[in-house]
Amino acid sequence: MQRPTRRKAATAKKSGLFLSFEGGEGAGKSTQIQLLLKNLEARGHEVVQTREPGGTEIANRIRAMILDPQMQGLVPLAELFLYQASRAQHVEEKIRPALAKGQTVICDRFTDSSVVYQGAARGLDAKLIEALNAISTSKLMPDLTFLLDIDPEKGFERVGRRGAALDRIEAEGLSFHRAVRAGYKRLALQNKKRIKLINAARTAEKVHQDILKHLEARL
């Protein structure tokens, strides 16, 4: 049997870059994702933008259930399972195929959100969440995560300026969102190589420049 050439072998192993954005409500993730998307495309990168929960038709239907303000009786464990179901569909249908093509994937939230929202804020067992994250993603992790940090009160000032109704997660009390912020900071300390903590209370351009510095260092 003929052995593959080095060029063919390298092509077979080619994998795209997986970037994720994390942060509390009003941190500016959507704005920064758009700025980074334009920057990467201008450099010739083929970029796939996506989000969690959601990202595919099936996953978006699960998203609608999770964020529905009328789902007030949803218990934390059921909420966690819904997120994981959405994530499993999202990874297999969209993220892995894009990475296999060598595309750059930018995802608004990923497994870190479950660790923080369902773990630090809801109080579910961290080892359980870690195990479910590994199962739903087949242990896929972002290459680099940008954590946009902002005080929850300032974040909700931004959210209020949108003029849209709050979803079920956004409508949680301030103590919940403070626990989310604290959880994110602990997670960043535990994963300094992957998670880059960025002060999101500054102008969008300054935040964007910090993101680019971290990305250049990673590349």
Question: How many domains does the chain contain in total?
Answer: 1
Q: What is the mean pLDDT of residues 57-79?
A: 97
Q: Over 70: is that where the pLDDT of 19 sits?
A: yes
Q: Over 70: is that where the pLDDT of 1 sits?
A: no
DSSP letters of 166-212? Answer: P-TTTTS-HHHHHHHHHHHHHHHHHTTTTEEEEETTS-HHHHHHHHH
Question: Mean pLDDT of all residues in the chain?
Answer: 93
Mind listing the pLDDT tens digit for each residue in 120-160? 999 999 999 999 999 999 999 999 999 999 999 999 999 98
Query: Does any domain span residue 8?
Result: no
Domain of residue 113, CATH code: 3.40.50.300
Mind listing the pLDDT tens digit for each residue in 157-208? 999 888 889 999 999 999 999 999 999 999 999 999 999 999 999 999 999 9
Query: Does any domain span residue 58?
Result: yes
- Percentage of the chain lying above the pLDDT 90 cut: 89
Query: Does any domain span residue 5?
Result: no
Query: Does any domain span residue 104?
Result: yes
**pLDDT in the model for residue 111:** 98
Query: Does any domain span residue 7?
Result: no
**pLDDT in the model for residue 100:** 97
Tell me which residue range forms the domain holding 33. 14-218
Q: Is 91:137 a contact under the CB 8 Å cutoff?
A: yes
**pLDDT in the model for residue 2:** 47
Q: How far is CA 180 from CA 22, 123, 160, 170, in A?
A: 11, 11, 19, 11
Query: Does any domain span residue 205?
Result: yes
Sign, Cα dihedral of 146, 152, 154, 156: positive
Query: Does any domain span residue 199?
Result: yes
Q: Is 89:31 a contact under the CB 8 Å cutoff?
A: no
Q: Over 50: is that where the pLDDT of 20 sits?
A: yes
Query: Does any domain span residue 180?
Result: yes
Q: Over 80: is that where the pLDDT of 10 sits?
A: no
- Percentage of the chain lying above the pLDDT 70 cut: 94
Cis before 152 (ω within 30):
no
> Sorting pLDDT into bands at 50, 70 and 90, what band is 7?
very low
